[in-house]
Amino acid sequence: MMRKIFLLGMMVMMFSGLFAQSKRPNILWLTCEDISPTLSMYGDSTAHTPNLDKLAAEGLVFDNVFAVVAVCAPSRSSIITGMYPTSIGTMHMRTAHDVMSWGKREYSGKSNHVDINGDTVPFYSAVIPPNVKCFTEYMREGGYYCTNNQKTDYQFAAPVTAWDENNTKAEWKHAPWDMPFFSVYNHNVTHESQIWKRADKPQTVSPEVVPLPSYFPDDSIVRTDVARNYSNIEVLDQQIGEMIRALKRAGEYNNTIIFFFSDHGGPLPRGKRLNYDSGLRVPFIVRIPKQYRKKYGVDPSWVKNGRVDALISFVDLAPTMLSIAGMKIPDYMEGQAFMGPQRVKEQRKYIFGTGDRFDEHTDRNRVVRDHRYLYVRNYHPELPGYKDIAYRKNIPMMRDMLYLLKMGRLTPAQNYWFRLYKMPEELYDCEKDPENVHNIIDDPSLSGKLDEMRKAMDEWLAATGDMAATPEKEMFLKMWPGGKQPVTQKPKISVKGKEITLSCKTEGASIAYLISNKDFNPDLNAGWQVYYKPLRVPRGKYLYVMAQRIGYRESAVVKKKFIKNTSTKQHSVSTIIE
């Protein structure tokens, strides 16, 4: 008897081991808001971050990862689609209130934005090309359980096909035991707003010891805010540690590829919203369990002493996740996979960035960055370098800098941001001038490099298009004819024998469905599934179906109840609501 129990136990262990080896990896994103690479693994040990330090020691540190836009909503639209915001019309910050969870589904039409010509544009959900989807929809089709806790901020309301769970209670722990998970946790403690909202919290980093870039004045107000930023990073590290410990307790740590990164550069003045390294370059760490490194990791030739020097853009995240998940990368995606079976062999030569409307101020510039140089093309050189954004003036040091500017007490490096007009082009040597305060566009020795960067910019613009060439109001009216949000048509349910197929006449619409015992009105958190192949619905069950094209209002819900036809032993359909 004991022998049988022992053999049974051994078989269970062997089965578990084989299952673990054959199972695709879980993927966990531990993202944060508004930090630059001001961490010890990047040479800045001001903040004490033992959990991130350990993650970096066990994983890979990426030295050259860049957001596509130096502010959250356009940046996040790029992350979720694998497309440049200028290619899909999501480049203007912020188009709507779709910041958290499923987002606002209706819009009041009240004006909130003012463009460069003084025209008003109401809140709107961007209507992106019909073939473009949230990459998580493909992962769900491929068998991943996808959760997001909680921020979306995609410039459009997240369709219900994007996530299995999308709210403050979303957890990877809810994934069925036989499904790998892809889970995102967004940490807000380092956000720009927390500089003033956490002003009364304990300061764990002394203002006296914080490093200051040359473009910051050295006074007590500035030092206090900089110290607050580092203190918030220490709180972030504690939160990251809690997430990792939960993964370990569940026995999933060595089954999970962990990504840590920020949505763009740091929260302090001259960080986010500026397309310099201070606004675009982000920390990026990936821990890959040993058994997954060969198949799902980075090309070994890219790695040196645990670091990756390759240029990585946020448009590369979506195709990389699909590569790891074993899903074919759609041809339309503008990024490229840097991990997994579909990873590219050759590194990027350039990354590209864009800047358009930031809150109430409209401008337009485009940037190209290689390993050393940053090139900026300004479409409105007549506008000042500094944008007087009201939200940013909640930061005490921003008000302090404006006062010092008025009093004429800023140094040339500090004054550079506040120049009254910009040059049509800018060029910076990021090795010699990492703060990007010395424009060397007129250096004759760099004429060849300048021509190279100009050509790279022109070729990229030609390849991807640039919707910002159209004024925002005109673009909005093309998306929303007559200023009204288009609505997705109701899906159609077709029954042939025991197979049910779903369709929708709206081009590009994704279809979601529920099969339930209940007759009820399902909300967005009801557990909608992605439709991608014919269904079978057991008799006595209710089928709920809805459709949505991104940027459109979702369709009405179609509901049917299936009963057994005793004469043919096939489904017949009793329509409840249609």
Is residue 76 within 8 Å of residue 153, measured between CB atoms? yes
Residue type at 158? A
Is residue 355 within 8 Å of residue 70, measured between CB atoms? yes
Q: Where are the beta strands (DSSP E) in 247-355?
A: 256-262, 281-282, 284-287, 303-304, 307-313, 351-355
Place of tokens 């410990």: 245
Q: What is the side-by-side order of every strand in the sheet holding 425-429? A: 351-355, 365-369, 373-378, 425-429
Answer yes or no: 430 catalytic.
Answer: no
Q: Is 310 helix (H, G, I), strand (E, B) or coil?
A: strand
Which residues, 6+ apart, have CB-to-CB distance to 336 below 8 Å?
316, 319, 344, 348
Can you tell me the distance from the alpha carbon of 301 to that of 72, in angstroms, rounded to the nearest whole number?
32
Q: Residue 435 carries which DSSP code?
A: T
Which residues, 6+ apart, have CB-to-CB distance to 489 below 8 Å?
504, 505, 506, 509, 547, 555
Residue 94: asked if its preceding bond is cis (omega within 30°), the reply is: yes
The one catalytic residue among 72, 146, 430, 504: 72
| Sign of the dihedral through C-alpha 435, 436, 439, 445 | positive
| Sign of the dihedral through C-alpha 27, 28, 33, 37 | negative
The number of beta carbons lying within 10 Å of the beta carbon of residue 91 is 28
Can you tell me the distance from the alpha carbon of 153 to that of 564, in angstroms, rounded to the nearest whole number?
45
Listing DSSP states for 49-90 in one string gives -HHHHHHHHHSEEEEEEE-SSSSHHHHHHHHHHTS-HHHHT-
- Any alpha helices (H) in 383-525, and if so which ranges? 396-406, 412-415, 447-464, 472-479
The set of catalytic residues is: 72
